Amino acid sequence: MDNRQALGYMLLALKRLGYSKEEAKKIYREMYYLFDIYTEEEAEEKGFDWYRSIEE
């Protein structure tokens, strides 16, 4: 999957969850920035580490 496809999924999720355009823009910009600073492997590890930590 490329970045644009990942962004498409994210935008569809935000639409289904009822996010506003301004909220979606903020998340879109942050995600686009993160593509530049983390590798795919780093993003997967750090993202799921954070997710697991909030479930506890």
DSSP for 19-53?
--HHHHHHHHHHHHHHHHHS-HHHHHHHHHHHHHH
Q: How far apart are CA 44 and CA 55, in angstroms?
A: 17
Q: For 28-37, what is each residue's pLDDT tens digit?
A: 999 999 999 9
- Counting every residue written for the chain, the total comes to 56
| Domain ranges across the chain | 3-55
pTM beyond 0.85: the answer is no
Q: For 8-42, what is each residue's pLDDT tens digit?
A: 999 999 999 999 999 999 999 999 999 999 999 99
What is the pLDDT, as a whole number, of residue 56? 66
Q: How far apart are CA 22 and CA 38, in angstroms?
A: 24
